[in-house]
Amino acid sequence: MARILVVDDDPGIRGVLQRAFERQGHTVVLAADGLEGARAWREHGADVAFLDIHMPEMDGIELLAQLRAAAPALPVIAMSGGDQTHRLSLLRDALLLGARAALAKPFSLDEVNAALGRALEGPGGEQAVP
């Protein structure tokens, strides 16, 4: 099973993803912002990272860039509720920076599981923003 890093400032999103992944047998490492996420990745590593784009301290784009530099093969799934702020283009930016998939909030667990499955399968076609 995989070690999954979930970085999101919304405790509800972190909790839902943690429960869903742990039910599947994965180990989950949680962080509430980009700085915590970077620290958690250094301390625990990950096989896949789910990153929110809009967070305090360090946003998901900056964390994605750091992870790309340190671990180019790490699959990253970007997440954002940016449609509520008219900034969904940041999800497209995340794909351009190397995210494997981009999920617009609210998303379904089916969408999350599909993105996780593609990430665990290895390199392949990146997912377009819905």
Instruction: State pLDDT tens for residues 22-37.
Output: 999 999 999 999 999 9
pLDDT band at 127 (very low <50, low <70, confident <90, very high): very low
- Sign of the alpha-carbon dihedral angle for 50, 62, 66, 57: negative
Residue 126 has pLDDT above 80, yes or no: no
d(CA 121, CA 88): 26
Question: What's the chain's average pLDDT?
Answer: 88
With beta carbons less than 8 A apart as the criterion, state whether 75 and 33 touch: no
Residue 128 has pLDDT above 80, yes or no: no
**58 vs 125: which has the higher pLDDT:** 58
3-state secondary structure of 97: coil
Farthest CA pair distance, the chain = 36
Would you kindly state where each structural domain of the chain is located, as residue ranges? Answer: 3-121
Q: Taking residues 103-125, what's their average pLDDT?
A: 87
- In the block, tokens 């497209």 appear at 92
Structure tokens given for 61 = 């784009």
Q: Taking residues 92-109, what's their average pLDDT?
A: 89
Question: What pTM was estimated for this model as a whole?
Answer: 0.89
Architecture of the structural domain at 3-121: 3-Layer(aba) Sandwich (3.40)
Q: Taking residues 44-56, what's their average pLDDT?
A: 94
With beta carbons less than 8 A apart as the criterion, state whether 70 and 49 touch: no
Lowest average pLDDT, out of 1-5, 61-65, 81-85, goes to 81-85
